[in-house]
Chain A
Amino acid sequence: MTPPTSRTDRDEAVTVRAGESATTPPADDVVLRAVDISKTYGVTRALKGVNFEVRRGKVTVLFGENGAGKSTLMKILSGVEQPTSGHLELDGEVVELSSTTQAVDRGISIIHQELNLCPNLNVRDNIFMGRELRSRGQVDFARENEITRELMARLEEDISPTTLVADLRLGQQQIVEIARALATNARILIMDEPTSALSAHEVVVLFKIIRELKARDVAIVYISHHLEEAIEIADYAVVFRDGSLVATADAADIDLPWVVANMVGRAAEYDFTDEPREHGEVALSVSNLRVPDPDASGRLAVDGVSLQVRAGEIVCLYGLMGAGRTELLEALAGRQPIASGRVLLGGRDLRGMSVAERIAAGIGLVPEDRQRDGLVQLMSVGSNLSLSSLLAMVKRWFVARGKERASVQAMMTEVRVKAAGPAAPITSLSGGNQQKVVIGKMLLTRPKVLLLDEPTRGIDVGAKGEIFSLLHREARKGLAVLYATSEIGEALSASHRLVVMSKGRFVREFDPATTTREEVLAASGEPAPEVLHSGAPQ
């Protein structure tokens, strides 16, 4: 755990970097330089005098927790925001980027963390939005289609240019977002969390493309919460903490502990495991479940899955995008209709029960897309927390305020939400704290089984740890947990049992204590037929 070039303050970082000139590439390799950039919002100092360089043909990876200042810096580099002080130099010349259009004109493109697509338009029109190819006063759709097809071929996605974006899965939408940035032929490409919804295979393809871009001298700035993934693609690593750049290093010299140590300011382990213990009764029993694919009629998204989760047990569903994890969880929660099969909750058949009835019976879902499915943005933290359990708080017509306040306060303490209070708007919370509210909302209904779909999507390391330790605490009290993830580290370190899904079926089951990443990854890519459970193949 002794990092090669760990530094704790900015001035030192600058000095040491200057001293490293032997290994530093010549200065003309720097295409974009941020000089002494500060950004202040009211009393909050989001960036404190940051010096940052982007080099031609290299991948510079930014590490840092949420709120460390990475996204603010990227917004400044891409013209979304202007710095309070400091300036940008492009090819050695001082430039002012007062809009994204200016940035794009100068060859700087950004793939935003949040998807910026029009779901009502097709893939082609989204990719060329605002930059339509014209010939003789009309849009040249044929040419646009052709370029879109080429981009999709490069990204190894089988998406037709005329597919509606609304019909794509989240991961595919992210691919479209990436394709849009690629289509601008930028010299400097900023990727803010480009892989949060991508499957392992899609990440491999993206990395291949990043290497191609590097070969063409494109400078890339990359931000990801998937630390290992980011280390893999990095040429240079830069760590932010509290608005300052605290460490820089050559990618060859760094490892995961170094990154994490610099991010949090001290050494920390990335581990959520707990000691083995006996699990209770079977809480959830799924037999031979089939769920139709909501996007394609006639196809099964879940094809004959059987599973048991015991009280106190944490089971992980691992699989690639499209493996059927989301559909399985949504079917269990009552969000999607099932084609056949049986779901028993503590022996009680859930057939025909609505989402509300299932929550009352003791099974609830923490959905994948927090903003779209998890939160009511107009309501306060407290109202979001109590939303699922209001009926239990009703006394003679009205919601008992004292009772609600007490439950909400207790749950905020239990899930450790950091907020100004129950009345704070939910939108004022960080992603991690919002996720804790969504989980807390379900815990307030006193569930027997908690389903979580990608519970750590877009959340920083610290909050990830908190969320898993919260699940472990609840499991110790007897909650059965079933969570889906596409992050292998989380799949292995946080679960008692690991089930790999592929193409709607269970392919293998692992004991996380005795298995390796490679085994799990290999299983998730396996075709399908080697079915463990009684899912009868037709």
Chain B
Amino acid sequence: MSETTAGPRILGRRVNVNKLLVEGRALVALAIIIVAFSAMSPNFLQPDNLILMTRHVAMNAILAMGMLVVILNGGIDLSVGSAVGVSGVIAGYLLQGAQLPFTDLVAYPSVWVVILAALAVGALVGWVNGLVIARLNVAPFIATLGTLYIARGIALLITNGETFTNLRGEESLGNTGFLTALASDPLGIPMPVWLMVVFAIVFSLILNRTAFGRWLYATGGNERAAELSGVPVRRVKVLIYVMSGFCAGTVGLLLTADLPAATPRGGELYELNAIAAVVIGGAALSGGRGTVRGTLIGAFVIGFLVDGLVLVGVSVFWQQVIKGAVIVLAVAIDQIQQLLQKRRDLKRAAASNPPAGPAPTPGSTGADAALAGTR
């Protein structure tokens, strides 16, 4: 029996050794980072520092989960950083008071309306991406590169390049509570971490348990086959960019509450960290392969690495070099692993024995059973 057919028989999930190795590799990287930095700095493993670092990880992890669904489809979303910026700015703008057009009135929407509006703006950016990609057949790289500039430009236009700093609201206007809602620490755990956990659970369920999740893996694996199988590939495509945009909207809110300020430059280059987390987590940029668990580990690898380097006092310039090297190394190992897997597949294909049972013995070939069926 070949190694890939072994393992737990969980229907619909390719639980195999290779997959575990791919994730294991990220886990090993994480373990090395933790061991190395805790040896270099006694503060690294302090609970306070862990919580702080996890808080930093959380925003990237949420973005990365949105990025994961896009990458599973074989796409890419470069616009998430700008979507973070524009949704944060929208939140700040509404909290400051929105000037209603053609009137002298200023509206102060309640905090929940502000939050919903910011999330909607993030999702809207994604929806535009999805439409352009699925309906106009523009390559995801190009389409989202366009929205990267457009969304950033809109954020700058709204604020005129300024930063909104008054996010507390006023009792009399009934729009207080934004910071309490998003920058608080329920049970000592920061809000972003709570949200990361919620997103992880929801995304896991979506990817593993829903028909949509299966469709997503199928379209990423072989879009033509998925389409002929009756999978609504275009709808899936639009929806994943909306999901990614929604994640960006959430991060936009968290970032704004964290600073606390709504800056039009918020979220710049966040898309690259998100992509790095997904890729370190074992997802294939060609689509069809990747997990929420792996992506979370990837986000932790990047976050802990950066914070650890800061903690032990490595220069900012070296931080960049090391981060880049880790990303490339992770993917290189992934490629080597895939090469080995392919070699195994090839050998199996060349042997092309029916994998259903032990090596066929003369007189009991598959053909006997096959021909029996024709009678």
Where the two chains meet, the residues of A that have a C-beta atom closer than 8 Å to any C-beta of B are: 41-46, 65-67, 71-72, 75, 81, 241-242, 244, 263-265, 268-269, 271-272, 333, 335, 354-356, 358-360, 364-365, 367, 372-380, 382-383, 386-388, 390-391, 393-394, 397-399, 401, 404-405, 408, 416, 418-425, 427-430, 432-433, 441, 445, 460-463, 465-466, 468-470
Q: Would you call B365 and A398 a contact (CB within 8 A)?
A: no
Additional A-B contact list (14), CB under 8 Å, known A380-B13, A383-B217:
A46-B351, A263-B367, A271-B374, A272-B374, A372-B225, A374-B225, A376-B225, A380-B14, A382-B12, A387-B218, A387-B226, A394-B210, A397-B210, A422-B12
Q: Would you call B373 and A469 a contact (CB within 8 A)?
A: yes
Q: Would you call A423 and B230 a contact (CB within 8 A)?
A: no
Q: Would you call B374 and A469 a contact (CB within 8 A)?
A: yes
Q: Would you call B350 and A71 a contact (CB within 8 A)?
A: yes
Question: Chain B contacts of A42 at CB under 8 A?
Answer: 2, 347, 351
Q: Would you call B354 and A44 a contact (CB within 8 A)?
A: no
Residue picked from A383, A419, A441, A461, most chain B C-beta under 10 Å: A383
What separation, in Å, do the CA atoms of A386 and B213 have in the docked complex? 13
Q: Would you call A44 and B353 a contact (CB within 8 A)?
A: yes
Question: Chain B contacts of A378 at CB under 8 A?
Answer: 14, 217, 220-222, 288-289
Question: Chain A contacts of B351 at CB under 8 A?
Answer: 41-42, 44, 46, 67, 72
Question: Chain A contacts of B210 at CB under 8 A?
Answer: 394, 397-399
Q: Would you call A420 and B289 a contact (CB within 8 A)?
A: no
Question: Is residue B232 contacting chain A, with contact meaning CB distance below 8 A?
Answer: yes
Give the shortest distance, in Å, between B371 (CB) and chain A (any CB). 5
Q: Would you call B214 and A465 a contact (CB within 8 A)?
A: no
Q: Would you call B218 and A72 a contact (CB within 8 A)?
A: no
Q: Would you call A462 and B214 a contact (CB within 8 A)?
A: no
What separation, in Å, do the CA atoms of A272 and B232 have in the docked complex? 36
- A377-B360 CB under 8 A given contacts A387-B226, A463-B370: no
Question: Is residue B355 contacting chain A, with contact meaning CB distance below 8 A?
Answer: yes
Q: Would you call B232 and A356 a contact (CB within 8 A)?
A: yes
Q: Would you call A420 and B356 a contact (CB within 8 A)?
A: yes
Q: Would you call A376 and B353 a contact (CB within 8 A)?
A: no
Question: Chain B contacts of A380 at CB under 8 A?
Answer: 11-14
Task: Name B11's contact: one of A359, A364, A405, A468 (CB within 8 Å).
Answer: A405
Give the shortest distance, in Å, between B9 (CB) and chain A (any CB). 4
Which 4 A-B pairs have CB atoms at the shortest separation, nearest pair first? A462-B370, A462-B367, A359-B230, A465-B374
A-B contact pairs, 9 of them (CB 8 A): A75-B350, A81-B350, A242-B361, A264-B371, A268-B371, A378-B222, A380-B11, A398-B210, A424-B5
Q: Would you call B226 and A390 a contact (CB within 8 A)?
A: no
Q: Would you call B230 and A364 a contact (CB within 8 A)?
A: yes
Question: Is residue B135 contacting chain A, with contact meaning CB distance below 8 A?
Answer: no
Question: Chain B contacts of A465 at CB under 8 A?
Answer: 370-371, 373-374
What separation, in Å, do the CA atoms of A441 and B230 have in the docked complex? 11
Q: Would you call B228 and A430 a contact (CB within 8 A)?
A: no
Question: Chain A contacts of B289 at CB under 8 A?
Answer: 378
What separation, in Å, do the CA atoms of A81 and B348 have in the docked complex? 13
Q: Would you call A67 and B347 a contact (CB within 8 A)?
A: no
Q: Residue of B at shortest CB range from A356?
A: B230
Q: Would you call A376 and B228 a contact (CB within 8 A)?
A: no
Question: Is residue B7 contacting chain A, with contact meaning CB distance below 8 A?
Answer: yes
- A466-B370 CB under 8 A given contacts A335-B228, A375-B222, A376-B222: yes
Q: Would you call B12 and A43 a contact (CB within 8 A)?
A: no
Question: Chain A contacts of B374 at CB under 8 A?
Answer: 269, 271-272, 465-466, 468-469
Q: Would you call B222 and A399 a contact (CB within 8 A)?
A: no
What separation, in Å, do the CA atoms of A244 and B363 have in the docked complex? 13
Give the shortest distance, in Å, between A362 (CB) and chain B (any CB). 12
What separation, in Å, do the CA atoms of A265 and B374 have in the docked complex? 16
Question: Chain A contacts of B365 at CB under 8 A?
Answer: 65, 241-242, 264-265, 462
Q: What 0/1 readout, one digit per residue, does chain B (1-30) give for beta carbons within 8 Å of chain A? A: 110110111111111100000000000000
What separation, in Å, do the CA atoms of A103 and B68 have in the docked complex? 44
- Those of B98-146 within 8 Å (CB) of chain A: none
Question: Chain B contacts of A463 at CB under 8 A?
Answer: 366, 370
What separation, in Å, do the CA atoms of A445 and B231 have in the docked complex? 13
Give the shortest distance, in Å, between A513 (CB) and chain B (any CB). 18
Residue picked from B14, B218, B366, most chain A C-beta under 10 Å: B366
Give the shortest distance, in Å, between A259 (CB) and chain B (any CB). 13
Total interface residues on B, using CB and 8 Å? Answer: 62
Q: Would you call B218 and A379 a contact (CB within 8 A)?
A: yes
Q: Would you call B362 and A265 a contact (CB within 8 A)?
A: yes
- A430-B354 CB under 8 A given contacts A375-B222, A386-B12, A465-B374: yes
Task: Name B367's contact: one of A43, A65, A386 (CB within 8 Å).
Answer: A65
Q: Would you call B352 and A379 a contact (CB within 8 A)?
A: no
Question: Chain A contacts of B226 at CB under 8 A?
Answer: 376, 387
Question: Chain B contacts of A379 at CB under 8 A?
Answer: 12, 14, 217-218, 221, 288
Residue picked from A42, A404, A421, A427, most chain B C-beta under 10 Å: A42
Q: Would you call B214 and A390 a contact (CB within 8 A)?
A: yes
What separation, in Å, do the CA atoms of A386 and B217 have in the docked complex? 13
Q: Residue of B at shortest CB range from A66?
A: B352
Q: Would you call A390 and B211 a contact (CB within 8 A)?
A: yes
Task: Name B10's contact: one of A387, A393, A416, A423 (CB within 8 Å).
Answer: A423
What separation, in Å, do the CA atoms of A238 and B360 have in the docked complex? 20
- A388-B230 CB under 8 A given contacts A376-B222, A462-B371, A466-B373: yes
Question: Chain A contacts of B320 at CB under 8 A?
Answer: none
What separation, in Å, do the CA atoms of A378 and B342 have in the docked complex? 12
Q: Would you call A67 and B353 a contact (CB within 8 A)?
A: yes
Q: Would you call A423 and B211 a contact (CB within 8 A)?
A: no
Q: Would you call A265 and B13 a contact (CB within 8 A)?
A: no
Question: Chain B contacts of A358 at CB under 8 A?
Answer: 230
Give the shortest distance, in Å, between A9 (CB) and chain B (any CB). 9
What separation, in Å, do the CA atoms of A466 and B210 have in the docked complex? 34
Question: Chain B contacts of A425 at CB under 8 A?
Answer: 4-5, 14, 16
Question: Is residue B316 contacting chain A, with contact meaning CB distance below 8 A?
Answer: no
Give the shortest distance, in Å, between A54 (CB) and chain B (any CB). 20
Question: Chain A contacts of B209 at CB under 8 A?
Answer: 397-399
Residue picked from A41, A263, A460, most chain B C-beta under 10 Å: A41
Task: Name A422's contact: one of B11, B231, B360 (CB within 8 Å).
Answer: B11
What separation, in Å, do the CA atoms of A526 and B174 have in the docked complex? 83
Task: Name B356's contact: one of A367, A418, A445 (CB within 8 Å).
Answer: A418
Question: Is residue B314 contacting chain A, with contact meaning CB distance below 8 A?
Answer: no
Question: Chain B contacts of A462 at CB under 8 A?
Answer: 365-371
Task: Name B232's contact: one of A81, A242, A354, A420 (CB within 8 Å).
Answer: A354
What separation, in Å, do the CA atoms of A138 and B215 have in the docked complex? 48
Q: Residue of B at shortest CB range from A67?
A: B352
Q: Residue of A at shortest CB range from B220?
A: A378
Question: Is residue B227 contacting chain A, with contact meaning CB distance below 8 A?
Answer: yes
What separation, in Å, do the CA atoms of A425 and B365 have in the docked complex? 22
Question: Chain A contacts of B9 at CB under 8 A?
Answer: 421-423
Q: Residue of A at shortest CB range from B6?
A: A420
Question: Chain A contacts of B15 at CB under 8 A?
Answer: 423
- Those of B266-300 within 8 Å (CB) of chain A: 288-289
- Those of B48-77 within 8 Å (CB) of chain A: none
Task: Name A418's contact: one of B224, B232, B354 (CB within 8 Å).
Answer: B354
Question: Chain A contacts of B231 at CB under 8 A?
Answer: 356, 387-388
Q: Would you call B12 and A373 a contact (CB within 8 A)?
A: no
Give the shortest distance, in Å, between B207 (CB) and chain A (any CB). 11
Task: Name B4's contact: one of A44, A81, A428, A469 (CB within 8 Å).
Answer: A428
Q: What 0/1 readout, one digit per residue, does chain B (311-353) give for beta carbons within 8 Å of chain A? A: 0000000000000000000000000000000000101111111
Q: Residue of B at shortest CB range from A470?
A: B373
Q: Would you call B367 and A445 a contact (CB within 8 A)?
A: no
Question: Chain B contacts of A364 at CB under 8 A?
Answer: 230
Give the shortest distance, in Å, between B180 (CB) and chain A (any CB). 32
Question: Chain B contacts of A424 at CB under 8 A?
Answer: 4-5, 355
